[in-house]
Amino acid sequence: MLRLANKVALITGGGTGIGRACALAFAREGAHVAVAGRRPGPLHDVAEEIAKSGAEALAVECDVTDGGSVQHAMETAAKRFHGIHIVVNNAGALLVATIDATSEVEWDQIMAVNLKGTYLVSKAALPELRRAGGGSIVNIASVLGLVAMKNRAAYTASKGGVIALTKAMALDHAHENIRVNCICPTIVETELVEGLFTAQPDPEAARQTRRDMLPLGRLGRPEDVAHLAVYLASDESSFVTGAAMPLDGGLTAY
């Protein structure tokens, strides 16, 4: 039996990387999927890939930092698929900098995408989840919301905020059968991360340095996150809410 049969999921940042992997995994498990993001090209590519597999998908443009854009995306998806049961807050931004090297504009942008975006999308989703009799919000935080590393000050602060917001929403909405959890991945092999490596003088050495930090000896893969997101979206996790789950190859076991 498909684990997400007849469910409707909206996934932000759904055109590439972790969002794309989640969209494909959700569709394989029977969900109707709305992929949302700022770049229409990758969104339509994912939607077409899902449609070719026989599942239903919708590409919808959405800027998670803009409340009107978020509301339009949520309403469009709900109208197309007659409701929303699952939201994956995956859209995110990264800044590699210490606090003194972070401008006010950069700080505001990181907070707007990572933390405000999670707030806006979750708030817009709540009426739909209530109409559905409950549902699941899955936030993609980061292991850097649990621990810190050098040159990630604003990013770490924003992801720590996502974890705290996850716990607060889980308590506020448990009585409505709305579960809220977050996944805290370590570095994952996405287009963004590949760009960080290729910008280094020795990309392979930089990549190996990051591998050496992880007890399991490899970087995360988008599919690793997608597998856990499916679990948190499904009824298999019906007694799980308010959790911040490390997905880190053993990094936080030190």
- Partners of residue 179 on adjacent β-strands: 136
User: Using CA atoms, how far apart are residues 214 and 189, in angstroms rounded to an integer?
Assistant: 14
In the residue annotation, 231 being an active-site residue is answered as: no
Q: What is the largest CA-CA distance in the chain?
A: 53
DSSP letter for each residue of 81-124: HT---EEEE-------B-GGG--HHHHHHHHIIIIIHHHHHHHH
- For residue 250, the Cα-to-chain-centroid distance in whole angstroms is 20
Token look-up 């590439």 returns 16
CA distance 7 to 241: 19
For 58, the token pair is 């919708």
How far is the C-alpha of 214 from the C-alpha of 248, rounded, in Å?
Answer: 7
Hey, which residues are catalytic here? 155
